[in-house]
A and B are shown apart, each in its own frame.
Chain A
């Protein structure tokens, strides 16, 4: 294993980049964009090298680094990545340069500073990488909270209509969750200090503590509510459509594509291993919330007339799938859930970016303002269709594999849940296809022809943005092994920590007789 400090470099680099870009003069926006793009590409290269050096069959956690921080509390700068975190880091490193490229002209027309926008994107990357790379719970909490700040300003300063309302709602919802988690983090720390004899936030030391049932359940809830708000699960979801609808398209892609994954990642990495008994106790609740989310999010998505809000609601439905995959406590379900996190990031990221391109041309996000746009811009319409198909998990695209794994993993233990969740697939087909039909198919809306921008199909820059995502969606749709190999050991380890094992494949045995 290489001794290069990958994770601290990965975490620190975007922060330095953000500082550099923020200091660039406002009068030279082109320079700021270029520097930001190059910086994020450099981060991508480092991540790629790290991914390549990860030993899929090696120990679960690799690239461990640990530096002293606040000895009095036992807080340390500890970074570590298992397969789950590694996949998420790769997703971040891939999405950020694409988002920067996609947002190239987004802020040109606004009165706001261009360098600040790109600096905020890099600052956001810093916090996102940090939150997935941290293995010290204090450090994780720090990143979990400061993640709000750049996103708040991205929505609040650069967003569309109702951006103030959306930004404040986003911030307050997340802060409420964060503060509940803070109480739970401190509680966990005190329990750990009483048992271990010294205060520590080290993940490895804090897993496997003995707690009273009541304590464990309260602490679980403190973490779970924070993650459920972040993810978001029903009924904590109402901030997402507002934030997703008001955020600039690039920021929305990162918000839904990566930021929200912190919630599901947190449940897998923290809730389950730290509080195994409480996790089993609350699993039915988690399944129920996830199930409601699938149906409810899909139904609301069908009813939306705003493209960005529509995509946000579809995400709530998708997070429901991830949720049942996690709380089914089977390796297949868990692997499916993690794979879903990655694929959803790719598919919804793409969908948001394409929607952003449509909205930028039309100057409106209302579905009813479009109609037959495909006649003017066939390539854009085609990409939009592909993104939609990936989002509804058509076989051949990578989300299909994850959705299938989730349903399979759930079916072996909770048949009813899996059956109800399947309804979500049908609903997904209706919201995606209906959205595509109303915007790009059918008779051409005469209003569109009058807008010059609507005649411009995808530029080279935009093709460069969408191409890697489409390629990955198809590639992983046929050959997910490089990713599942990395995820599987970590998921297995997680579920063995909470003491659940996969049910024996009884169907197969019966067939053998």
Chain B
């Protein structure tokens, strides 16, 4: 090797293929500048337009680039079918979540605190809670998070993946702490998320080191080759895979790495919870399938029993603990854990069907869950959202429209046909049985039965109970929340009645490149 060859060569960048991420990161940076230079009064419309505009632009670019299948940036980033599909899903779900986040008509100033640094519970804090001022930091944070997620699902080596993990995690920690009401709860959730998330990141990083030690590579294809040819002790490989999976499963909300979920989902501002439950799941599972399918599949040893055990645990923990919940946000949190289990069942199909069903499920679940949290933001009393289940009694009489919508979403979660929840479950279960994992499907079915009970309890509460003295009113949503509800509800129905176009799309996208 001569010195001349060691001069640094800039890797070739395909800017077209990278454009969705570049747009979001660029817009996020511009958003930060807006925070600094645009007067407070004008920030909200500017940030909203910037956020929506950049997300729509990113979505359009993804659609334009739909046929791209290549490795770029020196094979650090793979722009292939799954990556593009997931980026498109992230942009679409991000738009819907952004609409919910930007809603300000439900309470003066919206759901976010004006000055997060003011100590909670002080005189100044009470004053700012009552004022109409509101912070707009959440918009650039959201764009950073989404940009990081897009990078996360297309990262083709472990280091890029780690960087992306941090890029989208840090904004999420902050966003959780921004609630206008119940600020201590919100800050506690952010702290908890941050601490546990840091541990998970550390494990992930340690896992990278192990895998590097085993294979001398950080790229997925390199690890894949090393597994087939290397004569090194496989201990490092197993530990590395375990630690990397741990980091990803933490984000994906799989048991036993799920303990942060209920607290964070409950404490975070509800629009942020909606965003996390949809988009973080897409990102985490997008990365997980890439690691498992590209780096570790097709080798002569089987990780399925271990991940299968985690899937079983996740489904059972999520469904059983959901039964005992009395807070709607915690209930949805445990349901989100159980759903992570169902997605894992699809992932373990370890086939093209497994991949495409996972992609399909992520989208169906994302739209439904955002709409469900959007309904939660509407049910309010003088103290903000009324999330205790007992408060929802008789809601169907007070406002049949929103109670009806929420019932529909609950039926979708329960997997009743003609909703996207059913087609999604069908897809992942079919992939798992096709991959010879019938036992997982049996557990999945049992878990669905258990989970139907808490969903049904909410429906009973809303329709069959008499409204009490304390039944809160359902606020009339503004245009933005209405749009979120409409998109979420229609997507849930359409993907349940006519899933064929999306299924075809996922099927065409379901091929990784190495």
Residues from chain B with Cβ under 8 Å of A153 in the complex: 463
Q: DSSP majority for the A interface? A: helix
Taking a contact as CB atoms under 8 Å apart, the answer to whether B417 and A141 are in contact is yes
Q: Assess whether A288 is interfacial by the CB under 8 Å rule.
A: no
Of A69, A149, A168, A189, the contact of B430 (CB 8 Å cutoff): A189
Partner-binding segment picked from A39-47, A175-183, A477-485: A175-183
Partner-binding segment picked from A70-78, A304-312, A315-323: A70-78
Taking a contact as CB atoms under 8 Å apart, the answer to whether B449 and A186 are in contact is no
Q: Which residue of B lies closest to A68 (CB)?
A: B500
Q: Assess whether A19 is interfacial by the CB under 8 Å rule.
A: no
Q: Which residue of B lies closest to A218 (CB)?
A: B438
Q: Assess whether B418 is interfacial by the CB under 8 Å rule.
A: yes
Residues from chain A with Cβ under 8 Å of B415 in the complex: 179, 182
Taking a contact as CB atoms under 8 Å apart, the answer to whether B445 and A179 are in contact is yes
Residues from chain B with Cβ under 8 Å of A176 in the complex: 449
Q: Assess whether A145 is interfacial by the CB under 8 Å rule.
A: yes
A315 and B55 CA atoms in complex are apart in Å by 59
Q: Assess whether A172 is interfacial by the CB under 8 Å rule.
A: yes
Q: Assess whether A54 is interfacial by the CB under 8 Å rule.
A: no
Smallest beta-carbon distance A206→chain B, Å: 15
Taking a contact as CB atoms under 8 Å apart, the answer to whether B452 and A70 are in contact is no
Residues from chain B with Cβ under 8 Å of A156 in the complex: 460, 463-464
Residues from chain A with Cβ under 8 Å of B452 in the complex: 171-172, 175
Residues from chain A with Cβ under 8 Å of B101 in the complex: none
Q: With A69-B500, A149-B411, A175-B414 known to touch, is A190 a contact of B507 (CB < 8 Å)?
A: no
A374 and B418 CA atoms in complex are apart in Å by 49
Contact with A along B406-425 (1 / 0, CB 8 A): 00000100111110001101
Taking a contact as CB atoms under 8 Å apart, the answer to whether A179 and B507 are in contact is no
Q: Assess whether B503 is interfacial by the CB under 8 Å rule.
A: yes
A187 and B417 CA atoms in complex are apart in Å by 18
Of A71, A72, A146, A180, the contact of B416 (CB 8 Å cutoff): A146
Taking a contact as CB atoms under 8 Å apart, the answer to whether A190 and B500 are in contact is no
Taking a contact as CB atoms under 8 Å apart, the answer to whether B417 and A172 are in contact is no
Q: Assess whether B389 is interfacial by the CB under 8 Å rule.
A: no
Taking a contact as CB atoms under 8 Å apart, the answer to whether A146 and B503 are in contact is no
- Chain A CB count within 10 A is highest, among B417, B438, B460, B465, for B417
**B465-512 CB contacts (< 8 Å) to partner A:** 465, 498-500, 503-504, 507
Q: Assess whether A496 is interfacial by the CB under 8 Å rule.
A: no
Q: With A145-B417, A148-B416, A171-B456 known to touch, is A182 a contact of B426 (CB < 8 Å)?
A: yes
Q: With A163-B464, A175-B449, A190-B434 known to touch, is A72 a contact of B417 (CB < 8 Å)?
A: no
Q: With A72-B504, A146-B418 known to touch, is A172 a contact of B499 (CB < 8 Å)?
A: no
Q: Which residue of A lies closest to B438 (CB)?
A: A187
Residues from chain A with Cβ under 8 Å of B504 in the complex: 71-72
Smallest beta-carbon distance A181→chain B, Å: 9
Residues from chain B with Cβ under 8 Å of A157 in the complex: 463-464
Taking a contact as CB atoms under 8 Å apart, the answer to whether A180 and B445 are in contact is yes
A189 and B430 CA atoms in complex are apart in Å by 8
Q: Which residue of B lies closest to A175 (CB)?
A: B452
Taking a contact as CB atoms under 8 Å apart, the answer to whether A172 and B430 are in contact is no
A156 and B464 CA atoms in complex are apart in Å by 6
A113 and B79 CA atoms in complex are apart in Å by 54
Q: Assess whether B433 is interfacial by the CB under 8 Å rule.
A: yes
A-B contact pairs, 21 of them (CB 8 A): A69-B498, A70-B423, A70-B498, A71-B504, A72-B507, A73-B430, A142-B418, A142-B422, A143-B417, A145-B417, A145-B422, A146-B417, A167-B460, A171-B452, A171-B456, A172-B453, A172-B456, A180-B445, A182-B415, A183-B438, A190-B430
The 7 A-B residue pairs whose C-beta atoms are closest, nearest first, are A142-B417, A72-B503, A179-B445, A164-B464, A145-B417, A156-B464, A183-B445
